[in-house]
Chain A
Amino acid sequence: MTIDIPFIWIAFKEIIKALPITLILTIVPLLAGFLIGIGVALVRIYKMKFLYRIANGYVSFFRGTPIIMHIMVIYFGFPLLLDQLSLRFDLGIQTNKIPIILFVLIALTLAAGSYLSEIIRSGIISVSNGQMEAAYSVGMTKFQAMNRIILPQALAQSIPNFTNIFVGFLHTSSIAFLVSQKEVTGAANIVASVNLKFLEAFIAAGIIYWGITILVEGISFLLEKKVTAYNRGGVS
């Protein structure tokens, strides 16, 4: 067993074709999860009745179980549930026609929602109360204050955390290959098994993930500088 260096490049060219699916599996759940996250964060901060308990349970459970469980449970459970519903109400849904990627997207969205809600919550809490008082004092409503004053500051402060989550979900999307999705890891697995060159294929996949991670971290660094330009700290 030796390492075939030229094959890494061949595998790289083959595997990078699967990059769009990996990016879809990363970005779509994060965007959808962001909406869930804001909703859940606000519910938890304002301690709304009943909803508050549900939100707490949701965040705790999804952060407390491996994401592979969410993918598997939804992958096996959703078709069962839909079949039952369609049988009862005669909807005529054929679950075997639903592409698997949809289940993965749902699972990752729910997971992303729970992780993002914690980040958004901590971001909102970190904005000092004086900001809210100042907003009220100039006659803003609660919604205006949240929307115009608190959230922009909270989100700007949370950029490093968002980057971590983005990178985390980029890496998490590799689990989708276990339910036979042809994303970067899945493609690497196929290239590896076809050519019986496992190490080279996974090196190529590793380079792709690494490259994207570095790119994302670079963009985030620039963004953070731009977004927090107004923010002068205690000493500078």
Chain B
Amino acid sequence: MGKAFDLMLIIEFIPTLIQYLGITLQILAASIILGLVLGIAAAIPRLYKIPILNQLVILYVSFIRGTPILIQLFLVFYGLPAILLLLFSIDITRMEAIYFVIITYAISNGAGFSEIFRAAIRAVDYGQTEAAFSVGMTSRQNFFRIVLPQAVRIAFPNMANSVIGSLKDTSLAFTIGVMDMMGRGDTLIAATAHALEVYLSLSIIYYIIVVMFEKIFSKLEKYFNRYQKADVTAVA
């Protein structure tokens, strides 16, 4: 055990913990991709105001925005097996915890994404649509060639924030027993009793990853904005 606090241990722990970064990124990637699909599916009833489905999506988004991710995680972890068993008599209680995490984060991201898409599409000036129609485009051409490319540009910064938020949220996956970086950190604490050092190493890893993501996203944002005129802002 030795000293109560050992600075060197922080550096020693990083290689051990970073091996589990893959799991964290897997959770992130899978939940983002599923979330995108879910988000698009949820945004359509809202944009076209399809009755009943519209209200259901409002309820879905409100619930996800209204409850902590931790509660959602527990609800999926305990609720999904119960529902599937009850309705379809499928037993998934032995499914690995990581799938529950991915499902939860996908549901959670889907709600966020649907709101982002909706806001972005509505933010495109209606004059653009009128202009597209005036040159003889069909409604479908207008959507894919005119509205969507502009909406992607508007949605991108919010999407980037969502992804980074989601990355930080994955640190809660260990609460249902997933062996990601946090889970490995827990076992390291049990083995070495150096909790502070483990959490500091984890903080450093997360920070570096988040900063890298921010750099990449800001490059992409510049790329998406390449046709925009420079913003004129009056900074105090």
Contact digits for A35-62, partner B, Cβ 8 Å, 1 yes 0 no: 0000000000100000000000000110
Q: Which residue of A lies closest to B169 (CB)?
A: A66
Q: Is B222 an interface residue (CB 8 A)?
A: no
Contacts between chains A and B (CB distance < 8 A), count: 116
Q: Provided the pairs A77-B196, A214-B62 are in contact, do residues A64 and B207 lie with their beta carbons within 8 angstroms? A: yes
User: Is B131 engaged at the interface, CB distance under 8 Å to the other chain?
Assistant: no
Counting CB contacts under 8 A, is B203 at the interface? yes
User: Are B206 and A64 in contact, CB atoms less than 8 angstroms apart?
Assistant: yes
**From A76, A202, A210, contact of B199 by CB (8 A):** A76
Contact B200 A73 (CB under 8 A): yes
- Tell yes or no: A236 within 8 A of B by CB: no
The contact string, 1 if C-beta is below 8 Å from chain A, for chain B 81-123, is 1100110000001000000000000000000000000000000
Residues of chain A in range 178-192 having any CB-CB distance to chain B below 8 Å: 178, 185, 188
Quick check: is B79 within 8 A (CB to CB) of the other chain?
A: yes
Asked if residues A167 and B65 are in contact (CB atoms below 8 Å), the reply is: yes
Chain A residues with CB below 8 A from B62, complex form: 210, 214
> A205 touches which one: B63, B71, B199, B207 (CB < 8 A)?
B71
Q: Enumerate chain B interface residues (CB-CB to A < 8 A).
A: 4-5, 62-63, 65-72, 74-75, 78-79, 81-82, 85-86, 93, 168-169, 171-172, 175, 182, 195-196, 199-200, 202-203, 206-207, 210-211, 214, 233-236
Would you mind naming 16 contact pairs between A and B with Cβ atoms under 8 Å apart? A45-B236, A64-B207, A65-B210, A69-B171, A69-B202, A73-B199, A80-B4, A124-B236, A125-B233, A125-B236, A129-B234, A167-B66, A185-B71, A188-B71, A199-B79, A214-B62
